[in-house]
Structure 1
Amino acid sequence: MSAKVLAFDVYGTLIDTHGVVTELETRLSASGKAAQAADFSRRWRDKQLEYSFRRGLMGAYVPFSQCTREALDFTDRALQTELRETDKDHLMEVYARLPAFPETAAALARLDRAGVRCVAFSNGTAAAVEGLLDQAGIRAHFEAVVSVDEVKRFKPDPAVYAHLRQRLEVDPGDTWLISSNPFDVIGARHAGLHAAWVRRSSEAPFDPWGIEPDMTVADLDALAERLG
């Protein structure tokens, strides 16, 4: 068994947060704005993260699902898409069963065979993440789910990464954060962990903060090849 523990971010790293676009197209068709579905999805995700950052700074923690719903309400107003409450409820249900990225299951299986310990590490509550991983068919690859809800903070608060280390009971040098979110990678590196950036778009820039990932990969297959 490898000494390394890989802590995988969930939303945007294992799970495709834009897997809701098809459903958005259907729901936005009533207002004749189905063509805005992709833009709606991007804005929804950006606002979801912004709300978690703002609440973290304010010390006003709420479950991540509330940030998600408030971001949905905001995006609907901003784009004037006039979604009904029933549409929003349905979209939240869809968000709870988003698909994994295509290579996720095979990459995790490869890490399993190599004896690498893996955990899921998310802004989502444990119950939400458990459900998401179960429906995506990948829960069995993780020995545990570590949620920020346990400390009532959001990434990239240093307390969140300290909590991860305490839960894992491993040395910082053996702990790797795996994330497609630069803010998460920087937060982990700042807290003394190793971090790999999953750069899913070749055009995605990394924040110029002088804190770089230990490793950059295009997808989880490439990660498994290097860390498996």
Structure 2
Amino acid sequence: MKTLAFDVYGTLINPQSIVLEVEKFDAQKAVCLVDIWRSKQLEYTFRRGLMKQYANFGQCTREALDFACLQTEVKLNDTQKKQLIDAYQYLPAFGEVKESLTELKEDGHRLFAFSNGTKNAVETVLKNAGILGFFEGIVSVDGIKTFKPNPAVYQHLIDTTKTERSQTWLISGNSFDVIGAVNFGLKAAWIKRNPSILLDPWGIEPTETISSLGELKSCIKK
């Protein structure tokens, strides 16, 4: 039995589907806006973590949207921005997620959602995606007021789940998260859904690299 900690956005949940919502307001610039929005969303967590000026992931998301609108010159009013923020609660899971989580649960592993998002926000998106019931619990960085990849976040995971580093896997589609976990001493599976994405050349490698969650079961048996 292993403890499996799943990142949420970009790993279980597909944030790029928000493009469809943005297209309702500006179809031409939707993809560009969403790319900037996601990039700034993560950048703001990194910067706030370094500055020790914590604001929850929801605030980082709103501020990143404001920046993306300014950068792309897409003019949205407060109601339209709220509509996009609210859409984050209804993002879908990637196609293979339910089947894969079912198999891992049946194998007796402990499954946790492990996210930069607040516990309430993560619970809502997982429930709406139909996968909340697979998880023993939700571990949120909000409990310690900082963000991945701060080592304190991975210690928080170990403390909360009451498990050993050697028995804990991080599963993430985000390379910065994988590098942070391996640096801390966890095993980590990087879900490389897009073959063109590169791992940062820091000399820190994932324990396993897979193209979808469906490959995880065989990896953790090694």
**Length-normalised TM-score, structure 2:** 0.98
Residue type of the alignment partner of 2:140 = S
Q: Corresponding residue for 1:67?
A: 60
Instruction: Tell whether the 8 Å contact from 1:108 to 1:224 is kept in structure 2 after alignment.
Output: no
- Specify which of 4, 7, 14 is matched with residue 6 of structure 1: 4
- Specify which of 177, 202, 213 is matched with residue 184 of structure 1: 177
Task: Please give the secondary structure, in 1, of the residue aligned with 2:90.
Answer: coil
Question: Post-superposition shift, 1:171?
Answer: 1.1
**Structure 1: runs of 5+ lacking an equivalent:** 29-33
* CA RMSD across the alignment: 0.9
Question: Post-superposition shift, 1:202?
Answer: 0.8
Residue type of the alignment partner of 1:78 = Q
Instruction: Tell whether the 8 Å contact from 1:155 to 1:187 is kept in structure 2 after alignment.
Output: yes
**Superposition pairs for residues 109-120 of structure 1, below 5 Å?**
109-120=102-113
Task: Please give the secondary structure, in 2, of the residue aligned with 1:73.
Answer: helix
1:23 and 1:170 mapped to 2: Cα distance? Answer: 40
1:43 and 1:200 mapped to 2: Cα distance? Answer: 19
Residue type of the alignment partner of 1:152 = K
Residue type of the alignment partner of 2:203 = G
Residue type of the alignment partner of 1:12 = G
**Superposition pairs for residues 165-204 of structure 1, below 5 Å?**
165-204=158-197
Instruction: Tell whether the 8 Å contact from 1:185 to 1:197 is kept in structure 2 after alignment.
Output: yes
2:162 and 2:3 mapped to 1: Cα distance? Answer: 10
2:85 and 2:138 mapped to 1: Cα distance? Answer: 21
Residue type of the alignment partner of 2:180 = G
Q: Say whether residues 1:156 and 2:128 are aligned partners.
A: no
- The structure 1 segments of at least 4 consecutive aligned residues displaced by more than 4 Å after TM superposition are none
Q: Say whether residues 1:37 and 2:6 are aligned partners.
A: no
Q: Say whether residues 1:132 and 2:125 are aligned partners.
A: yes
Instruction: Tell whether the 8 Å contact from 2:172 to 2:189 is kept in structure 1 after alignment.
Output: yes
Give the percent of matched residue pairs that are identical in Structure 1 and Structure 2: 50
Aligned length: 221
Q: Corresponding residue for 2:95?
A: 102
CA offset digits 1:39-94 (Å, max 9, x no partner) = 21111100000000000011000110000000000000000011111110000000
CA offset digits 1:86-115 (Å, max 9, x no partner) = 110000000121111111111101111111
Q: Corresponding residue for 2:204?
A: 211
Residue type of the alignment partner of 2:212 = D
CA offset digits 1:143-163 (Å, max 9, x no partner) = 000000000010000100001
Instruction: Tell whether the 8 Å contact from 2:208 to 2:219 is kept in structure 1 after alignment.
Output: no
1:131 and 1:46 mapped to 2: Cα distance? Answer: 23
Instruction: Tell whether the 8 Å contact from 1:120 to 1:145 is kept in structure 2 after alignment.
Output: yes
Task: Please give the secondary structure, in 1, of the residue aligned with 2:23.
Answer: helix
**Length-normalised TM-score, structure 1:** 0.95
